[in-house]
Amino acid sequence: MEREEQLLQRRFQDLALMADKREIALFTDFLNLHEQDLLDRMKKELPDIKYFTYGGYLDAERKIICLCGNRYIEDVREIEFPISCLRITPINQKFSDKLNHRDYLGAVLNLGINRSKIGDIIVNEHESYLFCSLSISSFIMDNLLRIKHTVVSTSLMEYKDFIYKPNLKKITGTVSSVRLDSILAVAFKGSRSKLSGLITGGKVFVNSKSILSNSYLLKENDIVSVRGFGKFIFKGVTNQTKKGRYSVEIQLYQ
């Protein structure tokens, strides 16, 4: 195990023990899918407390985990997560650059902010939304003034008011089975042999859990994330051909 993972595990242990001892709710920073999976696999070694996960909106990938030792809290909706949602807009839309996710993330990290304090960044045509730790939201609003050559304005909004409708592309294909490697080949239009290396390499997550088996069978509405490739929803089997193959539908995040 890498040193970074060992340090993260110790951090999880410390938080869980403190939450249990003091009977309070404590929070991690934003975790990527691998880190979320690491904590999930550790739960048997941690105190028997509640664990709630949220990233600011329903489909968030990067999430904060609440380690809750308060026995009176039963539902994630009872918890006020330390998350802020920032709306970023160009001052002059006409002369703004065409900005992508990397541009926004790079500009924020150049302010000296640690990646763990930043959640998802949703990029739309004329504006973007950045989820971050509550403790740094004012700093970002005061200091994020330009992205590439574009002068921007940053304002705070209630993350609970944020409504996100992802842009999904429908993809269909036929497979001999709903094995993970077969579905990846349909989603990303590649060969099974090439994409299977991503699975064994720990780069594929199903519903935020690391999957290392090529033969893992997907279920309807499973959400699959692949590092460096993207994310999709496996909608399931639509019908079976006369030759016994399965027609499948995938909704690929754009």
Per residue in 73-101, pLDDT tens? 999 999 999 999 999 999 998 888 899 99
3-state percent breakdown (helix, strand, coil) of the chain, nearest 5: 30, 35, 35
Task: Read off the CATH number of the domain in which 124 is found.
Answer: 3.30.70.330
pLDDT in tens, 179-192: 999 999 999 998 88
Task: Read off the CATH number of the domain in which 236 is found.
Answer: 3.10.290.10
pLDDT in tens, 199-223: 999 999 999 889 999 999 999 999 9
Task: Read off the CATH number of the domain in which 42 is found.
Answer: 3.30.1370.160
Last residue of a domain, one of 78, 108, 127: 78
Domain count, the chain: 3
Q: Could you give the residue ranges of the DSSP H alpha helices within the chain? A: 3-22, 33-42, 101-109, 137-143, 180-188, 192-200
Asked whether residue 173 falls in the same domain as residue 245, the answer is yes
E-strand spans in 178-245? 204-206, 209-210, 222-226, 230-240
Tokens of 200: 């064994």
Lowest mean pLDDT among 65-69, 233-237, 240-244: 240-244
Dihedral sign computed on CA atoms, order 91, 96, 101, 106: negative
Last residue of a domain, one of 161, 187, 222: 161
Asked whether residue 101 falls in the same domain as residue 37, the answer is no
User: What per-residue confidence (pLDDT) applies to 183?
Assistant: 96
**Residue 192: CB partners within 8 Å, gap ≥ 6?**
181, 182, 184, 185, 214
Asked whether residue 65 falls in the same domain as residue 94, the answer is no
Average pLDDT, the chain: 93
Using pLDDT thresholds of 50, 70 and 90, give the confidence band for residue 243.
confident
Asked whether residue 150 falls in the same domain as residue 213, the answer is no
The domain of 102 spans 83-161
CB crowding 208-220: b at 16 or more within 10 Å, else e: bebbeebebebee
Last residue of a domain, one of 54, 78, 102: 78
Asked whether residue 205 falls in the same domain as residue 247, the answer is yes
Tokens of 10: 């110790």
Closest among 82, 65, 79, 76 to 12, alpha carbons compared? 65
Using pLDDT thresholds of 50, 70 and 90, give the confidence band for residue 228.
confident
pLDDT in tens, 94-140: 888 899 999 999 999 999 999 999 999 999 888 999 999 999 999 99
The backbone region for 154, taken as left when phi is positive above 0, alpha when psi lies in -120 to 50, beta otherwise, is beta
